[in-house]
Structure 1
Amino acid sequence: MIEPRTPVPSGVPRARSEEGRAPLPVAPLPVKQATGRFLVLAGVFLCAACGLVYELELVALASYLIGDSVTQASVVLSVMVFAMGIGSLGAKRLRLRAAAGFGAVEAALALVGGCSAMALYAVFAWTGDWGGSWAGGSRYMLVGFSLAIGVLIGAEVPLLMVLIQRIRRQDPGGAVADLFAADYVGALVGGLAFPFLLLPMLGQLTGALLTGAVNALAGGALVLGLFRRDLTRRGRWTLLVANVVVLGLLASAAVLVDDFERAARQAMYGKDVRVAVQTGVQEVVVTGGKHEPLNLYLDGRLRVSGRDQQRYHEALVRPAMDGPHARVLILGGGDGLAAREVLRFPGVRQVDIVEIDPGVVHLARNDPPLSALNGHVYEDPRVRAVTADAFRWLRGPHAPYDVVISDLPDPGITASTKLYSQEFYGLAAQVLAPDGRLAVHAGSLSSRPRVFWTVDTTLRAAGLRTVPYWVGTGEPPAPAGRRHGAWDRLTGITDGPDRTLDGTRAPSDWGFELAGPRPLPEGAVPRERVRAAERSRITGLAPSTLVHPRYAD
């Protein structure tokens, strides 16, 4: 219900604000009420879209840089919502200067939100290996940006509420409904634009910078165009200069973003970066391959190390090939290195590789150093590559396989926990021949024994018999209950979710599982490797399932 403002009778003092100060005189708007109202709601729409893009960009980049997308999303969302409450309270002091306050908030939000991705990436790239208090620098920066962006977003709605009432006096419930409707629709558009438009077309850094520019233009245009008479001459010039500076900084960063990315990659991967592409699934980086060992990184995590790939893939594949092996299925392994080891055995008639990222398969086919490393397996007519999610692919009808090789990212990465679940192993068991074998890479026994033995428990829960084994150099894994910190520092094994090693040191440790529906043949795995793994056995663990993953350390 619209209530017209009643003129204050002569001699009656004007109402004072909660702070006891008289309100500022209200200047007329340069447009009609309906037009002004539409412009305010359009500003709400754009600002809400930008705010959600900042939020999603922080979650996506933190998941890529730090890992564990569930944890990063929880941290960003909870901190940001808490900060929005603080921002709403703080905005109470700006209500008497709502136009100037909103303009300042939007300029600050555009700068902070637009540059957040570059700043977070820079801290990760240049300080990630410093150790000490800097080891968690990316996490501290993530929380800091979540707080700052949340405070600024939280200040928007109270100020916009004053501005929309400034145009036309309205029942507070109706005004709030209008604002929130525009806000929620804007959030929908921003939420859809990020994964389907900004991320694939512009990338995280340029996408965030463009969002900041839109934010600055929307906020500045609304205040300077519609409410400019509410500002003093000095205030208008201050806000104009501030927005020009913000837009200039964002534009300069956008021009230099390619050089920045190259420098950051060199800081993380070294100067010998040969390939750096963003596929539809992940970022793929290849270093070395000519004069240095080839390394393949997927989303910043080392997946193939030229220093150790031979030993790793032999340990993964060879025990499973002890028995019938005419038909072999490789889950993951798009780099072709596991297939190379499989094809060394006589009698192999068919090798099917199920890889989710066609970009990895394309690289393994066409990159000369990587293709040479995998023995040009994709030129072998027995090898067939299928682009599919391994879990979904296993749910279809398939002829039984003698051997299934699971060469997948470690279970500590949230996106891959379903590929180490009881349901997944149940599906894998269905495609195994009665005397078939399943080989699983289950992470590092020395640094993450609980994760390894959870994989073992999960395989058994799926009805498979298991033989755990350890492959490494030097000292075997410590017995259960003993701390592993000194051994980790000695070997260079990290506590990260994937097999990321110090590239300057020899790799040292992997844990594997050989499983099957029937008792496995003795001698498939050397006894000393089995005994080395059994030393660290942890009992009483529950299996990991789709609805209750249990791979967090």
Structure 2
Amino acid sequence: MTPATAPRGAEVWLLLATFLVAAAGLTYELLAATASSYLLGDSVRQFSLVIGVYLAAMGLGAWASRFVAAPVAGFVWIQIALGLIGGFMAPMLFASYAFAGVVQGPLYLLLILTGALSGMEIPLIARVLKDIGAPVFRFENVLSVDYVGALVASVAFPLLIVPQLGLMTGSLAVGLMNLAVAGFSLWLFRGWLGRGIVITWALSLVLTLGGLVQAERMVSVTESALYDDSVIYSAASPYQHITLTRFRDRTRLFLDASVQFDSQDEYRYHEMLVQPAMALAPRRNRILILGGGDGLAAREVLRHADVEQVTLVDLDPMVTQLFQTNADLVALNHGALNDPRLRVLNQDAWQFVEHDTTAFDLIIVDLPDPKSVSLSRLYSQEFYALTAERLSAQGIMVVQSGSPLFARQAYWSVVHTLAATRNPVVPGAGLSVLPYHVYIPSFGEWGFTLVTFHPLASRPPTFPDGLRYASAATWQASQVFAPDMADLPAAVNQLETQPLLGYYNDGWDAWFN
């Protein structure tokens, strides 16, 4: 190709194509990292590995681009390949996990292929611009457009793609963008490209459009294989993927594929989380619940007529809205989230306890397990110090602390962290802690920690009528730990080091991986 025969507008199109392919490439990287975090947990590890492998593959692709003899044809072929491989990345990963129980092998194969192809794009575009004699061609201009495209993708991914499209549809939509780039390039450079590449592009376009049309069906089929029961609700929020399943009258909630409750036995968990603290609290007029967006802990709190005000702080508005409006879920939580005594605040728990100045008689910390850095920080000494400042002088706090059996060292790390946290009422002392546990059939052994400023007086608690599990007898039994769950050395969880995350992942991996 010579400057004289270059299509009109080729330079402008190639710079626009640079923007589009950069946005697509970063989106594939984020899709892979997010999908692996959903399916494998430990978001820091997954994002770190995905980014590292993807960038290395891009470097390999950039090096390999020198062997492409015809840069225009090579660029179009790469767009077609990315449209298929990148576009179908999320469907393939979820299908592999659902039907074969395998994620890491397909994930890294797709990452290497997608990264290598993406790495070839910019060098080939630069060669085409140079070949067509772009009047003011400078390689840094191409890189600038590339970086802007990556910025747009990084903003669009959490704000638009995940909440509005979901991972599967989003993946296919971005694949369609690569195919659109290929299609316009085919038309613009039609004099230099053969019929075979046009036919391949057309078939790829039909396949991807068919995937988009069938995306919802693919989600349904994959989730049916992924979950034992029928999926009755599935949606992606900016924070997590929310799934509800049902078998007969049994409902289960999953967040990022991890079960949060089973309606058949959730009462054991929520009664033991809430009722001992409610029974032992000298006052219970003003209650704070951190987490618990399903309203089940609030249901237990609102059994007590002397409760005047409950503040529930949960990050995800999609969860709280679901449990405020869905008739079956409202029946499960007894309409707790619609009770006039309760107000819902959708914000980060750390931000709330850092800035709110209310003194609460009881604080219930019902947060998801510390399986990522963003969650582990909410089990840190620094977070507990802030939370303790929100307790009244005679207040009680109870903390969901994980399994003392499946993640034993993680559980005792939470207990030790609370015990080492500064006591704002007794200078120089730590908080007083009382660990206890309960057996929940759908979870196994599960542990909690009761926290006060002074050691609790030895008195039997009085529980309200109508409970199905919690009683004075089960409360006493819950404080006895078998030898395989007993206390053992575990480091305090601090923001700087966060050993809890390692304890948690190691414990669960030892049992289930």
Task: Give 3-state SS (helix, strand or coil) of 1:294's partner.
Answer: strand
Task: Give 3-state SS (helix, strand or coil) of 2:344's partner.
Answer: strand
Note the residue ranges of structure 2 that are not aligned, 5 or more in a row. Answer: 423-430, 462-473, 504-513
Task: Provide the rounded CA distance (Å) in 2 between the counterparts of 1:48 and 1:300.
Answer: 30
- Gap change, CA 1:84 and 1:103, over 3 Å in 2: same
Quote the offset at 1:28 in angstroms: 4.6
The structure having more radius of gyration, on CA atoms, is 1
Quote the offset at 1:299 in angstroms: 2.7
Task: Provide the rounded CA distance (Å) in 2 between the counterparts of 1:179 and 1:513.
Answer: 56
Select which of 479, 490, 494 maps to 1:530: 479
**AA matched with 1:514:** L
- Gap change, CA 1:327 and 1:544, over 3 Å in 2: same
Contact 1:45 1:186 in 2 (8 A): yes
**AA matched with 2:44:** V
Alignment of 1:82-93 (within 5 A): 82-93=56-67
Does residue 276 (structure 1) correspond to residue 241 (structure 2)? The answer is no
Contact 2:413 2:490 in 1 (8 A): no
Contact 1:27 1:229 in 2 (8 A): no
Select which of 401, 404, 407 maps to 2:363: 404
Task: Provide the rounded CA distance (Å) in 1 between the counterparts of 2:202 and 2:270.
Answer: 56
Judge which range, 303-312 or 525-534, deviates more.
525-534
Quote the offset at 1:417 in angstroms: 1.8
The Cα offsets for residues 491-521 of structure 1, whole Å up to 9 and x where unpaired, read as xxxxxxxxxxxxxx65421011111222233
Task: Provide the rounded CA distance (Å) in 1 between the counterparts of 2:399 and 2:216.
Answer: 39
Quote the offset at 1:244 in angstroms: 0.8
**AA matched with 1:126:** F
Task: Provide the rounded CA distance (Å) in 2 between the counterparts of 1:378 and 1:93.
Answer: 62
- 1:105 alignment counterpart: 78
Judge which range, 255-264 or 375-384, deviates more.
375-384
- 1:14 alignment counterpart: none
Does residue 306 (structure 1) correspond to residue 263 (structure 2)? The answer is yes
Q: After the TM superposition, list the runs of 4 or more consecutive aligned residues in structure 1 that deviate by more than 6 angstroms.
A: none
Select which of 332, 351, 362 maps to 1:392: 351
- 2:130 alignment counterpart: 165
Select which of 313, 323, 329 maps to 1:354: 313
- 1:20 alignment counterpart: none
Alignment of 1:356-395 (within 5 A): 356-395=315-354
- 1:471 alignment counterpart: 438
Contact 2:379 2:414 in 1 (8 A): yes
Contact 2:275 2:300 in 1 (8 A): yes
Quote the offset at 1:185 in angstroms: 1.7
**AA matched with 2:481:** A
- 2:55 alignment counterpart: 81
Contact 2:186 2:198 in 1 (8 A): no
Contact 2:19 2:145 in 1 (8 A): yes
Quote the offset at 1:108 in angstroms: 0.7
Quote the offset at 1:548 in angstroms: 4.4
Task: Provide the rounded CA distance (Å) in 2 between the counterparts of 1:274 and 1:76.
Answer: 31
Contact 2:288 2:364 in 1 (8 A): yes
Does residue 31 (structure 1) correspond to residue 7 (structure 2)? The answer is yes
Quote the offset at 1:78 in angstroms: 0.2
- 1:176 alignment counterpart: 139
Quote the offset at 1:99 in angstroms: 2.0
Judge which range, 532-541 or 257-266, deviates more.
532-541
Quote the offset at 1:549 in angstroms: 6.0
Select which of 455, 458, 462 maps to 2:421: 462
Contact 1:353 1:385 in 2 (8 A): yes
- 2:40 alignment counterpart: 66
**AA matched with 2:216:** D
The Cα offsets for residues 438-475 of structure 1, whole Å up to 9 and x where unpaired, read as 111111111111211221222123222211222227xx
Alignment of 1:178-217 (within 5 A): 178-217=141-180
**AA matched with 1:186:** G
Task: Give 3-state SS (helix, strand or coil) of 2:368's partner.
Answer: coil
Task: Provide the rounded CA distance (Å) in 2 between the counterparts of 1:201 and 1:346.
Answer: 41
The Cα offsets for residues 349-381 of structure 1, whole Å up to 9 and x where unpaired, read as 322211222332232233232222222223543
Task: Provide the rounded CA distance (Å) in 1 between the counterparts of 2:269 and 2:141.
Answer: 60
Task: Provide the rounded CA distance (Å) in 2 between the counterparts of 1:113 and 1:530.
Answer: 52
The Cα offsets for residues 231-255 of structure 1, whole Å up to 9 and x where unpaired, read as 4xxxx11111111111111100001
Quote the offset at 1:527 in angstroms: 5.3
**AA matched with 1:166:** D
**AA matched with 1:470:** H
Judge which range, 208-217 or 355-364, deviates more.
355-364
How many residue pairs get matched? 479
Judge which range, 274-283 or 157-166, deviates more.
274-283
Task: Provide the rounded CA distance (Å) in 2 between the counterparts of 1:152 and 1:266.
Answer: 33
**AA matched with 1:316:** L
Task: Provide the rounded CA distance (Å) in 1 between the counterparts of 2:226 and 2:183.
Answer: 38
Quote the offset at 1:258 in angstroms: 1.0
Does residue 245 (structure 1) correspond to residue 203 (structure 2)? The answer is yes
Does residue 511 (structure 1) correspond to residue 447 (structure 2)? The answer is yes
- Gap change, CA 1:308 and 1:397, over 3 Å in 2: same
Task: Give 3-state SS (helix, strand or coil) of 1:551's partner.
Answer: helix
Contact 2:166 2:235 in 1 (8 A): no
Contact 1:99 1:223 in 2 (8 A): no
Does residue 292 (structure 1) correspond to residue 224 (structure 2)? The answer is no
- Gap change, CA 1:361 and 1:27, over 3 Å in 2: closer
Contact 2:29 2:50 in 1 (8 A): yes
**AA matched with 1:38:** V
- Gap change, CA 1:271 and 1:536, over 3 Å in 2: closer
Task: Provide the rounded CA distance (Å) in 2 between the counterparts of 1:280 and 1:80.
Answer: 23
**AA matched with 2:285:** A
Note the residue ranges of structure 1 that are not aligned, 5 or more in a row. Answer: 1-24, 129-136, 474-504
Task: Return the TM-score normalized by structure 1.
Answer: 0.81
